[in-house]
Amino acid sequence: MINWKVILGIAKTHLVTKMKSTITASLGVTFGIGAYITLVSFMTGLNTMLDDLVLNQTPHIHLYNEIEPSENQPIALYEEFEDALNVVHSIKPKQSQKKIHNALPILKYLKDDANVKGATPQLRAQIFYLSGSIELGGNLVGVDIMEEVRLSNIQDYIVQGSPEALKNNDSGILLGAGLADKMSLSVGDRIQISTIKGGIFPLKIVGIYQSGIADIDNIQSYTNLKTVQRILGEAENYVTDINVKLFDISKAAPMSHRLEHQFKIKAIDINEANAQFETGSNIRNLITYAVSITLLIVAGFGIYNILNMLIYEKMKDIAILKATGFSGTDVQLIFMSQAMIIGALGGVLGLLVGYLLSRLIDNVAFETEALPTITTYPINYNIMYYVIGISFALLSTFIAGYLPSNKAKRVDPVQIIRGT
Amino acid sequence: MSLVLEAKNIDKYFKKPVLFHVLQNLNFKVKKGEFASIMGKSGSGKSTLLYILSTMDTDYEGQLFLNEELVTGKPNKLLSRIRNEHIGFVFQFHYLLSEFSVLENVMLPAKKLDVKSHSEIEYDAMEKLKMLNIDQLAKKRASRISGGEKQRVAIARALINNPSVLMGDEPTGNLDSYNAENVFQIFKQLKEEQGLSLLVVTHDLDFAERTDRIIQMEDGQIVNQ
């Protein structure tokens, strides 16, 4: 019964003869959707970048031996004071090693687990960097460099040199960028380090490491695991940390609990380590969506107003259409299709404007000391945002069009015709 | 002779601003091919009656038959269809869609009816315009033609679906005497040449006296028919 050709023909004529209001209404939608796309692409791009900044350097599960006092002090074993309230002053940490016991079997066990993408051993050593008579305190981290490349994007933070250069040089070092600045060293130079026990070892700088976090870059350097073991004079099974990367990050918490009990070791999962970080991300997302939805609602009100005005202007036309045999539904569809055409046109144009603005922002230079790998503002081109954008454009114009068109549907032609 | 329109015991009340009995137990018939006019003073209820007969106003008591078929109580969708197919309407103020061309205005009810193809409808519309001597205006915008021309376009539109009855609410009320005479001649010609039934509300005694029958109304009642 519904004759779409006639209805769309009338809708088109209305839109074309009222070109100015059509364009104004469409631009309202275009502005709303364009701003939404730009904002959400930019904000989520920034969020992802900031997340990566911290999360890339945080393993999903971190295993190490905590230096802590034993939970049961010797007095608890003494039967005579079994029922007494024992107070022990100045408790000392338990005498134990920094290394992980049975590190190699644990590593093998983890690598065989189907949920684990990879597990890398690390050896952290306190050392001094020697520059003439000056001693700078710091850390030297021994890693399996190629595994780190596979699992933690370390190569993004090596601003000079390459991970392969470290792998190929038994006495190479990736020096922290802050340290390199302080000591005026660059790739190819030699640096001397000394252990806490006093031995002095020369290492060759094969690369500069810059994480973007100054506190790390000022003290930390990377070298091969074996190099650190040799410097400390320890055996090949001497490992202080194991970093685990999983395929599914949501399994980190239960797995870390299990490992803690299974190996009697300290295990920290990523959520525990970065709880406050997650909160920040969530709040930024919330703000993004609040602003976007506000923009879209404002655009929706614009359409509502213009259609309302149009319907008052066209009261006589509505009456005549009804008198000549168009039903209320036909009239409603005429105005609904106008709203939907405005929404679709404005929405598609908005996606285009949003995309172009995103491209523009994407090409604006953004260089900061803290982020060595970033040269322009980050943009997240997720197709989902475009789908959400056009859906919201159509939905809001549908609602904005439905209310006035429903009024048009119920116009009593007799009242209009007699009213003149 | 068969009946085109029949009204049985029509009662109508205006509820606002105060309860008012506008039409009181009206009964009358219009035969096929008859040219009838309704006359009466302002407020006698003649327009109100016409809108009930046109099926646009459904808020009344009594029964209305069109082509001997009961239309009272049918759903709005069906009434729209009946109006589209069987009733042509001409108003006092032309009421064309001003953004559309003359030809499009005439074609619109036929497009809505959706029985004939687009080219057939266009041919029909041109025929109606030729019959009314306004075919040279076909491509003009409806807002760009004179008042007399507009009323003739409105008559062409009312005729496009070959209705059973043509209704007019003071179709000459807004026209000068030359154009009014013109419209009357068109109506007469339609009745004589095509056997069309016409029912026209008018103030113009001169106009009414030349029709087949005058239905005289006073205070919501038919006093003479």
User: Per-domain residue ranges for chain A?
Assistant: 4-55+277-419, 61-72+95-272
Which residues of chain A lie closer than 8 angstroms to B99, CB-CB? Answer: 13-14, 17
In this predicted structure, the answer to whether residue B69 has a pLDDT above a threshold of 90 is: no
In this predicted structure, the answer to whether residue A372 has a pLDDT above a threshold of 80 is: no
Per-residue tokens: A15: 């839109």
In this predicted structure, the answer to whether residue A251 has a pLDDT above a threshold of 70 is: yes
Dihedral, CA of residue B156, residue B157, residue B160 and residue B163, to nearest 10: -100
Identify whether the C-beta of residue A177 lies closer than 8 Å to the C-beta of residue A208. yes
In this predicted structure, the answer to whether residue A420 has a pLDDT above a threshold of 80 is: no
Which residues of chain B lie closer than 8 angstroms to A10, CB-CB? Answer: 108
- Looking at residue A356, its pLDDT comes to 94
Nearest-CA distance B92 → chain A (Å): 9
Structure confidence at residue B1 as a pLDDT band (50, 70, 90):
low
Nearest-CA distance A401 → chain B (Å): 21
Nearest-CA distance B113 → chain A (Å): 8
Instruction: List the single residue in B with minimal CA-CA distance to A14.
Output: B99
Listed ranges A132-146, A350-364, B7-21, B140-154; the one with the highest mean pLDDT? A350-364
CB contact under 8 A, B111 and A3: yes
Structure confidence at residue A204 as a pLDDT band (50, 70, 90):
very high
B164-221 confidence digits (pLDDT tens):
888 888 877 777 788 788 888 888 888 888 888 888 888 878 888 888 888 888 877 7
Nearest-CA distance B86 → chain A (Å): 10
Which residues of chain A lie closer than 8 angstroms to B92, CB-CB? Answer: 420
Which residues of chain B lie closer than 8 angstroms to A414, CB-CB? Answer: 51, 56-57
CA B2/CA B51 separation, integer angstroms: 22
Which residues of chain A lie closer than 8 angstroms to B109, CB-CB? Answer: 324-325
Of residues A327, A418, A420, nearest to B80 (C-beta):
A327
CA B187/CA B172 separation, integer angstroms: 11
CB contact under 8 A, A326 and B80: yes
Mean of pLDDT values over A285-293: 82
Structure confidence at residue A360 as a pLDDT band (50, 70, 90):
very high
- Interface probe for A, chosen from B46, B56, B60 (most Cβ of A below 10 Å), is B56
CB contact under 8 A, B169 and A417: yes
DSSP A115-176: TEEEEEEEEEEEEEEEETTEEEEEEEEEE-HHHHHHHH-GGGGEEEE-HHHHHT-TTEEEEE
- Looking at residue B15, its pLDDT comes to 79
Structure confidence at residue A84 as a pLDDT band (50, 70, 90):
confident
Radius of gyration of chain A (CA): 34
Q: What is the CATH number of domain B34-60+73-224?
A: 3.40.50.300
User: Per-domain residue ranges for chain B?
Assistant: 34-60+73-224
Which residues of chain A lie closer than 8 angstroms to B108, CB-CB? Answer: 6, 10, 321, 324
pTM for the full model?
Answer: 0.71
- Looking at residue B44, its pLDDT comes to 78
Is residue B101 within 8 angstroms of chain A, CB to CB? no
